[in-house]
């Protein structure tokens, strides 16, 4: 689980209320970018842990990402991890609070062939048309 914390969203809401919609949007976008950087950092941790053992890594996966895995199961992930320790909570419907947070699971083991964490988009049903493919 990664998060940029609550302050960015609070400031974005303040800017929005003050009529500074563009500033709020830009700050929000910076938050999304920050979550992406944290996910990449998490990839490196998984890759290094695997490499130390001579293993490989799987794809980055999370509830709500691919069809067949409901976002509501973020709740289960939140229960398995001590997400409160990093200031994150999960709503009944699986929304992470702060919203600039993300969960990810990466398999590591001797059967995985890749040394780099793969994108979930490689396994997604809508990857041919998705504008968020990465």
Q: Contact positions toward ligand SF4, by CB under 6 A?
A: 65-66, 120-121, 124, 126-127, 130, 132-133
Instruction: State the minimum distance, in angstroms, from the CB of residue 17 to ligand SF4.
Output: 31
Please say which residue, 85 or 132, places its beta carbon nearer to ligand SF4.
Answer: 132
CB of 127 to ligand SF4, least distance (A): 4
Cα distance between residue 54 and residue 47, in whole Å: 10
Query: Which residues, in sequence order, are CB contacts of 96 under 8 Å at separation 6+?
Result: 1, 3, 74, 78, 88, 89, 90, 102, 103
Nearer to ligand SF4, 44 or 133 (CB): 133
């Amino acid at each position: 689980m990664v998060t940029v914390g609550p302050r960015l969203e609070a400031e974005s809401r303040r800017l929005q209320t003050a009529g500074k919609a563009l500033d709020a949007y830009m700050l929000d976008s910076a938050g999304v970018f920050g979550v992406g950087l944290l996910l990449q950092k998490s990839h490196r941790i998984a890759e290094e842990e695997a490499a130390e053992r001579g293993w490989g890594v799987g794809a980055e996966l999370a509830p709500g990402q691919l069809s067949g895995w409901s976002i509501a199961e973020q709740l289960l992930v939140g229960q398995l991890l001590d997400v409160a320790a990093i200031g994150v909570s999960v709503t009944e419907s699986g929304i992470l609070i702060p919203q600039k947070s993300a969960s990810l699971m990466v398999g590591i083991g001797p059967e995985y062939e890749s040394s780099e964490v793969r994108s979930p988009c490689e396994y997604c049903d809508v990857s041919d048309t998705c504008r968020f493919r990465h």
